[in-house]
Structure 1
Amino acid sequence: MQSAGLGSLATAQTCKDDFKRDPYLAGSNYVAYPGPKGSLTPAPKGYEPVYLSHYGRHGSRYHIGTVYTNTYALLQRADSANVLTEKGKTLMQQVKMLKDEADGRDGELTELGALQHRQIAGRMYRNFPEIFGKKTHIDAKSTIIIRCILSMENALLQLKGMNPQLEITHDASHHDMYYMNQNADDVYKYKKAAMDSVGTAFEKSHTHPERLMKELFSSDTYWRDSINANSLMHNIYKLAMNVQSSEIRHKLNMTGYFTQQELYDLWQTKNAFWYLTYGPSSYSRGLQPYSQRNLLGKIISEADSCLMLDNCGATLRYGHDTMVMPLTCLLELDDTNRDILDLSTLAEQEWCDYRIFPMACNLQFIFYRSKGAKAGTSDKDSRSKDILVKVLRNENEARLPVATDTWPYYRWSDVKAYYLKKLNDFKKVVY
């Protein structure tokens, strides 16, 4: 599915306009990858790409958990009690279609999810043939979750098909989980306080199920006394939004169960949740982005190692939205690291989750070297100063918190120094 581009930030009104144009964009982290917006800026004269470092979320997937079965069972019970309207019965049948399609596929990659990664890999190859268009080494790693492994394998098959000479190593092991999917309990422990202080109340104040419940149930007494209407509304929203990620999207659209304002409000609850629990919010002490400190450190060290070579290749990593979101904020890409206290103004202050981490979201660090430079010389510092880097956020050129007069290109020595200091300062403050 192709939707509005996610490369730039926008105002709250633009978010509402996005949802009017494409209701599926209200799906928060369920948005299907839209592809890049616009073209890439040519490299500065005399420079060519030599190395690509990447971290990406798995592609579109089925829901995780019991949202299919629980929602269907709830509607079945209401139908047995003869309190479903015709619209409620239609919803029950649609939920059954989704449940049957996803049966035995809890959290697994969909066909669209596989296609997304083949397409992303294909664009990598076409955008940077200097890296992928010759005999070179590609090192790929995935978390141990099957949807991530299959995302990686689809990308690698695409690259190998475009250039059979590529030398590829790939792995998915607990050995690498310390940075691929870091267990950051030291910062995660502040999430609950953030939700308790403002998050739960914000969600409650933006959830208004009365209109929808009256359309689905013929008895007000039943839905008020026998079900959790807020929970049901959010579950229907989740189901409706994830239709875009499976093949059933060709014959089913459930966004019409919600008014435009309801979609906007439901999205706001998700946007606030992600901001509080994985973003830079001071309600969670501004620490959640540092959950990806091991990943950022690994990106830096592996880049320095690969850039020592004449033929640098690429490092590809496949994981989850809960890595891409905080990593984007840790990197301060496109000003995503701001502290916003009033959650109701998140959108108007240009912090919108669906622009950060749709399905298959990815960050690509592209490194450039002067065509006359050789990696095999002995002067390491000289080689480092010659390296330029740019970052693609969902394949769109991003702004970094480092000075440059050649945006979107930055000196790697400046970028590395900024982030290493940030990581070192974090250790000083927390430990």
Structure 2
Amino acid sequence: MRKKLLYLLLLVPYFGFAQAPSTALLGTKTLYLPKQTKFTPVPGGYKAVYINFVGRHGARHLTKDIKLSYAYATVSKADSLNVLTTAGKTLKQFILNLGKEEENHVASISESGANELRGIAERMFTNQKDVFTSDEKVLVSTTKKGRTKESAEAFLAGLKTKSAPLSQNITFNYADDDHLRFYDFSKTYDEFKENGNWTIAYQKLAKAKKLNDIANRFAQKFFKPNYLAKLSQTDKINFVEDVYGFYTILNAVSAEIKAVGLSPKDLNFKTFFTPADLAALNTLGNAEDFLKKAPGLNNNGIQVRVAAPLLADFINTTDAYLKNKPVIADLRFAHAETIAPFAALMGIHGAAEATNNILTFEQVWKAENVIPFSANIQWIVYQNPTNGTHLVKFLLNEKEVAINGLSTKTFPYYNWIAVREHYLKKLKTLNLGLQDNMHEYLLKLK
């Protein structure tokens, strides 16, 4: 299911691709905006000394060639058989136009994505200047995917505009997939994604949102009856989800659309959807993310436990800094599938609550708040040089957040010793030690 549009969008006039990110909430394809700009003062005697960071890649293009999509294949075949309606011919041209824009950009971050990441980096430097006052090293880790490397470069460009010496002190750790694409290595998690109990909840929601009716009405716009009759219900659902996915990517690639001489009217996929259909498809897409990557029906389910290697890595790297300061910042760039379960495993309030009623899941979890493009989690470590104690502040998308089950008298600042003990207990319940083989853990995860 493609990532979708929150109902708020339906209340805002559509101004083409020049919309501000705040007016276009598209689930995981929501453009990034910081969630907070004024912060709680640091307790007296403490200053920031270290940053532990993981972020999703920036706003991106489609992840596969549009010619490989079901919608492209179906429309092309129908056109060759002369069974497209007038609307179908218009849709085909929109798809071809999007393909023109996407040429040579597939799976890469967009100009908007690069700007998101530069902005996060610049604000990090401005807000945590004490961390960047020395010539200490920074470690940058990515996954095997090119868009995470592109995201790292964009982020570093933002830091370097504030601190040129940083360019001489950066170490790269490419393809750190045990920590950042942990979901690739668990066969049990793969089985859960395909056939887990979440599918029952999803089908309940799909029935409530009348997905079959939406798909049927949508397909009727584009194909003549004799061809339409040959499409199965699954075909129609795949078709509407593909076209919806094309629609939701447009804000992310606005600069590239303009660069190839196209305008909003050349890619007006929205015209084929009713407002109610957009709202339903948005909710369904967000639900699938919630159920498969986030707290879902069980915030201790495999879709959350699979992120344990990253939590162990955050503790280990924080320990390493406190012991011998190898780097002043660990900067990781990954995916939505990394951020959502990690936020849940950490117990971040607003990102870690499960539901027992899928029809109301949006009351406890919203994709655009947790995993928009460039989503990020930061642990900011503060030191009191007088007594040697440390505090940690947690940020989700640059917003100070609370940790479920962990108390503090100085919110949003938590005592590091208490934080470490809290998370070590959590890892112990998952049968994972800090020095264990993370790859083996993932292979054996049940």
TM over 0.5: yes
Distance 2:279 2:385 in 1: 49
Aligned equivalent of 1:343, options 345, 349, 358: 358
Secondary structure in structure 2 of the residue aligned to 1:190: helix
Answer yes or no: is the 8 Å Cα contact 2:49–2:328 preserved in 1. Answer: yes
Aligned equivalent of 1:213, options 212, 219, 237: 219
Residue identity matched to 2:342: L
Answer yes or no: is the 8 Å Cα contact 2:110–2:256 preserved in 1. Answer: no
Deviations 1:275-301 (A, max 9, x none): 221122346972211111111101011
Distance 2:222 2:407 in 1: 55
Aligned equivalent of 2:376, options 362, 378, 398: 362
Residue identity matched to 2:230: D
1:231 aligns with 2:238: yes
Map of 1:187-266 to 2, 5 A cutoff? 187-191=189-193, 192-200=195-203, 202-203=205-206, 206=209, 207=211, 208-217=214-223, 219-226=224-231, 228-246=235-253, 247-248=255-256, 251-252=263-264, 253-266=268-281
In structure 2, the residue matched to 1:352 is 366
Residue identity matched to 2:237: N
In structure 2, the residue matched to 1:377 is none
Answer yes or no: is the 8 Å Cα contact 1:193–1:284 preserved in 2. Answer: no
How far the C-alpha of 1:18 sits from its partner, in A, is 5.1
Secondary structure in structure 1 of the residue aligned to 2:26: helix
In structure 2, the residue matched to 1:185 is 187
Map of 1:390-401 to 2, 5 A cutoff? 390-401=393-404
Residue identity matched to 2:382: Y
CA RMSD of aligned residues (A): 2.7
Structure 1 stretches of 5 or more lacking a match?
1-13, 374-382
Between the aligned residues of both structures, percent identity stands at 26
Deviations 1:106-165 (A, max 9, x none): 312222222221111111111111112442321111112111011111211221232122
Distance 1:314 1:225 in 2: 57
Distance verdict in 2 for CA 1:187–1:88, change over 3 Å: closer
In structure 1, the residue matched to 2:125 is 125
In structure 2, the residue matched to 1:170 is 171
In structure 1, the residue matched to 2:302 is 287
- Pairs aligned (count): 404
Residue identity matched to 1:239: F
The alignment's TM-score, normalised by the length of structure 1, stands at 0.85
Distance 1:392 1:291 in 2: 21
Secondary structure in structure 2 of the residue aligned to 1:308: helix
Over 6 Å off, 4+ runs: none
Structure 2 stretches of 5 or more lacking a match?
15-22, 433-444
Deviations 1:239-263 (A, max 9, x none): 0001111124653253343222211
1:273 aligns with 2:288: yes
Deviations 1:74-111 (A, max 9, x none): 22333344443443333222211111221243312222
Secondary structure in structure 2 of the residue aligned to 1:346: helix
Distance verdict in 2 for CA 1:414–1:336, change over 3 Å: same
1:409 aligns with 2:409: no
Distance verdict in 2 for CA 1:335–1:22, change over 3 Å: farther
Deviations 1:319-367 (A, max 9, x none): 11111010011111124222212211111x2311221111111111111
Distance 2:229 2:346 in 1: 46
Deviations 1:26-51 (A, max 9, x none): 53222222233442222122221111
Distance 1:302 1:85 in 2: 59
Answer yes or no: is the 8 Å Cα contact 2:35–2:398 preserved in 1. Answer: yes
Distance 2:313 2:300 in 1: 24
The alignment's TM-score, normalised by the length of structure 2, stands at 0.82
Map of 1:69-218 to 2, 5 A cutoff? 69-70=68-69, 71-166=71-166, 167-174=168-175, 176-182=176-182, 183-191=185-193, 192-200=195-203, 202-203=205-206, 206=209, 207=211, 208-217=214-223
In structure 2, the residue matched to 1:29 is 28
In structure 2, the residue matched to 1:306 is 321
Secondary structure in structure 1 of the residue aligned to 2:74: helix
